[in-house]
Amino acid sequence: MLAKGDRLEVSAERAAGRLYGVPWATGLSHVVCLVDDRLVRISVDDAVEVGHRIGLAGTDMADLTFADAEIELGQTVACSDALGFAHCSILAGMMDATLALTITYANERSQFGRPLAKFQAVQQALAVFAEEAAAVTAAAQAAGRALDRSDGAFEVTAARIMASRGLT
């Protein structure tokens, strides 16, 4: 999960401070945050204090406090690229989850005595949706690899276009 790291102090391989409002915190193993235009990866298990709360949208949020946590430093990245990547990653996850829910619904819901998933038109629509979801996921993964190498502005822009196109 990508979090805001403006209250986190980072040295060579250690971090101390607090990450506020980490969304969907339950079950996370690591958090990636942006500190001074640099991606930092921290294990949630290294948090000395975890405060859970419910956000405005009803999502699970956490405030994580770190004292002397071991970190992995990533490449320096522009804030707009990091936010664009986060946006694409969230949309890819949403599309995958929506596809899974839609397939489940089509298999459970019956019309004219048979499941909706047995109708050719529904199968075609699900296939197109699956293709769009896979394309957005692949674009987001390519953008992440490009950012990890150092300059991923082009790949992030392409992934944002794919994600926007996939939502229409």
pLDDT band for 133, please (50, 70, 90 cuts).
Answer: very high
Contact 89, 2 (CB under 8 A): yes
**What percent of the chain lies above the pLDDT cut of 70?**
88
pTM for the model: 0.59
Task: Find the helix packing angle between 153-166 and 79-108, rounded to 10°.
Answer: 30
- The beta-carbon contacts of 41-45 under 8 Å, at least 24 apart in sequence, are 41/71, 41/72, 41/73, 41/74, 42/15, 42/66, 42/69, 42/71, 43/69, 43/70
pLDDT in tens, 116-130: 999 999 999 999 999
SS3 state of residue 163: helix
